[in-house]
């Protein structure tokens, strides 16, 4: 399998190189040159497989040039054995034909564990084979940082430096990062905001000379193809559990960067019968505005009760635009260069095609709280604010009540106690047993000034072989 850039100019790469690269050299994102396609008969034969085995069936075509089958199977067994539920991605029923798929049974209680637990193992495997080392540098406002740290804590060939804005992440989120012990784990609290952190990461990827040529940076955000790949699997899992592929399914996906929902779109292209995909956003609704009026326009960032979806531009949307433009990289490049300057539209027939593929909705904080309250009163089941947005969008956009509607449950409610309190419920979401002592664990992090040379100096001095 070869991977090509959405902007058409960077060289095609194999899986190993795509794994170790962030953006393509032309500024694009990597996508598979062609997708595997599974027949209904083949998908049907996967009924009843354990999650790790299903993951092997769905993902192996993407990695087969780089990893022998047995090694990949072993890696997947390890990856999904750290989840705290035997079914890995269990389904919970809310109503007739209405479901939540709980993707928060991993070590950091958000769906990002599905990809980042695998990514850490993939990186270490490929780096061992190549006798290479990488430094992961990432900025986080919450969930990505902790999932990346948990995913890489046992990697021998990876040092990980995560920047978070000092005193501006929730205590649960900070402790999930700073209480993980390991010589290769480094938390940096920057005296600035999330944008400052992101700017420093971007600048460092652009010029890596501070590392003295002895190692290189690798990315763990959702521009990394391996993350999208791992997220395709659970669409198959949910469908098979509810009678697929002999009936089609609808999915509602809380999204900001268009990562998780893009994986659903790929599952459909790979042969899984999906009749509806709902894009669920919060007030940062660039995707919903595009789907409603064919205008892709950056607005100011709004802080919401669902912070993991607080974005201004949606990075993975570029991967969909590439398909909408018949995989014409030059057209995507021109469009996105214009989008950086002001609002853009696409040709009407392309936009109509997008509308056939997706429905969309934007849900504000008040309605998010209302939904948390409604579902608790109906089912005594607590939704986190991100999942609540998905459930509300599913209810608003539903087309056919005979089709099971599955909302992706992206986080555990105990990660976002403020939203639960704000919804007026008196119940307090409890952290699961394996994290019950989070507030007693020892924290480790370094506070640095909002200054890129200080941060780079710290990294250059503290990675393993420095």
Ligand X SMILES: *Cc1c(COP(=O)(O)O)cnc(C)c1O
Give contact residues for ligand X (rule: CB under 6 A).
Answer: 110, 112, 143, 222, 254-260, 308-309, 386, 410-411
Residue nearest to ligand X (CB): 259
Closer residue to ligand X (CB): 125 or 322: 322
CB of 35 to ligand X, least distance (A): 19
Contact of 217 with 211, CB cutoff 8 Å: yes
Contact 301, 309 (CB under 8 A): no
Least Å distance between CB 101 and ligand X? 13
Q: How far apart are CA 40 and CA 434, in angstroms?
A: 39
DSSP string of 322-342? HHHTTT-HHHHHHHHHHHTTS
Q: Phi and psi dihedrals of 396, rounded to 5?
A: -75, -35
Number of CB atoms found within 10 A of residue 417's CB = 17
Output the six-digit token pair for 122. 């993939």
Which of these is catalytic: 112, 268, 333, 415? Answer: 112
The minimum distance between CB 251 and ligand X, in angstroms, equals: 12
Closest CB to ligand X among residues 102, 159: 102
| Residue among 217, 162, 224 at smallest CA distance from 194 | 162
126 or 136, CB closer to ligand X?
A: 136
User: In the complex with ligand X, which residue's Cβ is closer, 94 or 305?
Assistant: 305
User: What is the closest distance, in whole angstroms, from the C-beta atom of residue 413 to ligand X in the complex?
Assistant: 11
- For the bound state, the minimum distance from the C-beta of residue 259 to ligand X, rounded and expressed in Å, comes to 3
Residue 112 among the catalytic residues: yes
Contact criterion met (CB below 8 Å) for 387 and 408: yes
Cα 45 to Cα 36, 49, 162, 383, distances in angstroms = 17, 9, 42, 33
Is the peptide bond preceding residue 245 cis, with omega within 30 degrees of 0? yes
The secondary structure of 108-154, three-state, reads CCECHHHHHHHHHHHHHHHHHHHCCCEEEEEECCCHHHHHHHHHHCC
Minimum CB distance to ligand X smaller for 124 or for 143:
143
Inter-axis angle of helices 259-269 and 225-241, nearest 10? 60
Q: Which value, in Å, is the radius of gyration of the alpha carbons in the chain?
A: 21
In the complex, least distance from residue 374 CB atom to ligand X, rounded to whole angstroms: 20
Cβ closer to ligand X: 215 or 387? Answer: 387
Residues acting as catalytic residues:
112
């Amino acid at each position: 399998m070869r991977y090509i850039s959405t902007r058409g100019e960077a060289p095609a790469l194999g899986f190993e190189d795509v794994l170790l690269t962030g953006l393509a050299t032309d500024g694009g994102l990597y996508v598979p040159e062609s997708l595997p396609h599974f027949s209904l008969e083949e998908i049907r034969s996967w009924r009843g497989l354990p999650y790790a085995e299903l993951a092997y069936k769905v993902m192996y075509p993407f990695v087969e040039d780089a990893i022998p089958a047995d090694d990949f199977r072993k890696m997947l067994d390890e990856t999904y054995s750290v989840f705290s539920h035997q079914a890995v991605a269990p389904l919970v029923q809310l109503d007739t034909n209405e479901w939540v798929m709980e993707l928060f049974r991993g070590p950091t209680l958000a769906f990002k564990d599905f990809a980042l637990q695998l990514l850490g193992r993939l990186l270490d495997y490929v780096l061992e084979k190549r006798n290479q080392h990488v430094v992961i540098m990432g900025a986080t406002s919450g969930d990505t940082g902790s999932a990346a740290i948990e995913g890489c804590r046992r990697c021998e060939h990876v040092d990980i430096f995560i920047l978070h804005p000092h005193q501006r992440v929730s205590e649960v989120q900070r402790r999930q990062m700073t209480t993980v012990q390991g010589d290769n784990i480094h938390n940096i609290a920057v005296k600035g905001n999330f944008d400052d952190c992101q700017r420093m990461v971007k600048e460092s990827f652009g010029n890596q000379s501070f590392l003295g040529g002895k190692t290189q940076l690798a990315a763990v955000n959702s521009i990394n193809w391996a993350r999208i790949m791992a997220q395709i699997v659970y669409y198959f899992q949910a469908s098979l559990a509810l009678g697929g592929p002999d009936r089609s399914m609808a999915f509602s996906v809380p999204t900001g960067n268009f990562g998780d929902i893009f994986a659903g779109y790929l599952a459909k292209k790979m042969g899984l019968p999906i009749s509806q995909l709902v894009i669920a956003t919060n007030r940062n609704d660039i995707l919903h505005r595009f789907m409603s009026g064919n205008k892709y326009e950056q607005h100011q960032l709004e802080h919401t009760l669902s912070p993991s979806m607080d974005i201004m531009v949606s990075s993975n949307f570029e991967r969909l635009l590439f398909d909408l433009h018949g995989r014409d990289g030059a057209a995507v490049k021109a469009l996105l260069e214009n989008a950086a300057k002001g609002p853009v539209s696409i040709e009407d027939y392309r936009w109509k095609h997008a509308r056939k593929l997706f429905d969309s909705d934007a849900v504000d904080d008040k309605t998010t709280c209302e939904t948390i309250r409604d579902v608790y009163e109906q089912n005594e089941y607590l939704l986190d604010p991100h999942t609540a947005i998905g459930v509300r969008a599913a209810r608003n956009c539903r087309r056919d009540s005979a089709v099971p509607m599955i909302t992706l449950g992206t986080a555990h409610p105990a990660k976002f106690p403020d939203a639960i309190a704000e919804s007026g419920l008196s119940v307090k979401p409890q952290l699961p047993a394996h994290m019950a002592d989070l507030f007693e664990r020892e924290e480790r992090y370094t506070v640095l000034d909002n200054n890129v040379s200080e941060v780079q100096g710290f990294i250059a001095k503290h990675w393993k072989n420095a």
